[in-house]
């Protein structure tokens, strides 16, 4: 039987383009060095852009690999991902990871294509608050859309202890602070170009983050029964 590593590169790339599931892409890149070289975004666009069952990233074990648990196949796969080691924080969104290092460097990282997008640093975020944030700096980071699909997206980050929300769009040199009035945010989500923020007062505020000027508008107030239902269902 021929050594898999000796297959022509064009043939390996053709095989890669037929992979449709993230777990299979992980296994593909783990065969050998030549197969890992072919496991690039250009050879895996169809799979990256198709609906996928979420993978759960397991805790860091201190080496150059990260483990992902497949909900569909009920198994763990190891991925060489040295960029995701020794970090202060990792925040998943839309299949990407917002990474925060101890030096304050921030990036968007795709765990399978290994594509990295540099972000303004945590130090730039700190200057928006006029005070120091809590030790980790960020409680939540979410994308409005996947950078794999479009360049028209925004990354929103929040520190809920200090009531600060900020966003970044491709081409921006710094973070832009979002005016959240006098309420305290407790969680947020993006949908169709709009940012929905739930405050600790059970008010839902909407921000059009696709527009040049981001201003809040009141959406509705959750009743106590609604809040209790969310707490019971999601454990907020």
pLDDT the model gives residue 155 = 94
**Which tens digit of pLDDT belongs to each residue from 94-119?**
889 999 888 889 999 988 778 899 99
CA distance 216 to 183: 11
pLDDT the model gives residue 20 = 63
**Range 143-167 average pLDDT:** 86
Closest Cα to residue 213, out of 177, 161, 174? 177
**Range 121-138 average pLDDT:** 65
How confident is residue 168, by pLDDT bands cut at 50, 70 and 90? very high
Closest Cα to residue 197, out of 233, 174, 222, 234? 222
What topology does CATH give the domain 84-236?
Lipocalin (2.40.128)
**pLDDT for 227 beyond 60:** no
SS3 of 66, please? strand
pLDDT the model gives residue 150 = 86
CA distance 91 to 57: 11
**pLDDT for 58 beyond 60:** yes
Greater confidence, 164 or 32? Answer: 164
**Which tens digit of pLDDT belongs to each residue from 9-22?**
677 677 666 666 66
**pLDDT for 48 beyond 90:** no
Greater confidence, 97 or 29? Answer: 97
Segment of 50-54, 102-106, 161-165 carrying the highest mean pLDDT? 102-106
**pLDDT for 122 beyond 50:** yes
**pLDDT for 47 beyond 70:** no
pLDDT the model gives residue 169 = 92
How confident is residue 81, by pLDDT bands cut at 50, 70 and 90? confident
Tell me what the pLDDT averaged over the chain comes to: 76
How confident is residue 153, by pLDDT bands cut at 50, 70 and 90? very high
**Which tens digit of pLDDT belongs to each residue from 169-217?**
999 998 888 877 677 888 898 888 888 888 888 888 888 887 666 666 6
Greater confidence, 37 or 195? Answer: 195
**pLDDT for 55 beyond 90:** no
CA distance 189 to 178: 15
> What does the domain layout of the chain look like in residue ranges?
1-80, 84-236
As given in the structure block, the two tokens for residue 131 are: 């005070």
CA distance 201 to 70: 37
**CA–CA distances in Å: residue 47 to residues 22, 39, 71, 132:** 7, 12, 17, 41
3-state helix, strand, coil split of the chain in percent (to 5) is 25, 30, 45
**Range 63-73 average pLDDT:** 82
């Amino acid at each position: 039987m021929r050594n898999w590593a000796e297959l022509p590169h064009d043939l390996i790339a053709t095989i890669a383009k037929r992979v449709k599931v993230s777990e299979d892409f992980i296994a593909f890149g783990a065969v050998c060095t030549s197969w890992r070289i072919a496991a690039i975004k250009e050879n895996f666009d169809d799979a990256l852009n198709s609906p996928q069952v979420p993978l759960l990233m397991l805790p860091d074990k201190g080496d150059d690999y990260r483990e992902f648990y497949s909900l569909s196949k009920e198994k763990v796969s190891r991925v060489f991902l040295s960029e995701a080691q020794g970090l202060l924080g990792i925040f998943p969104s839309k299949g990407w990871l917002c990474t925060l290092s101890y030096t304050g460097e921030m990036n968007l990282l795709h765990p399978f294509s290994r594509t990295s997008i540099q972000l303004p640093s945590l130090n730039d975020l700190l200057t928006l608050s006029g005070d120091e944030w809590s030790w980790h700096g960020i409680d939540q980071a979410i994308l409005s859309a996947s950078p794999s699909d479009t360049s028209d997206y925004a990354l929103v980050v929040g520190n809920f202890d200090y009531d600060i929300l900020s966003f970044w769009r491709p081409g921006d040199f710094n973070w832009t602070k979002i005016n959240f009035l006098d309420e305290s945010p407790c969680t947020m989500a993006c949908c169709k170009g709009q940012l929905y923020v739930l405050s600790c007062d059970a008010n839902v505020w909407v921000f059009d983050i696709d527009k040049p000027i981001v201003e809040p508008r009141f959406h509705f107030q959750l009743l106590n029964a609604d809040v209790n239902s969310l707490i019971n269902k999601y454990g907020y």
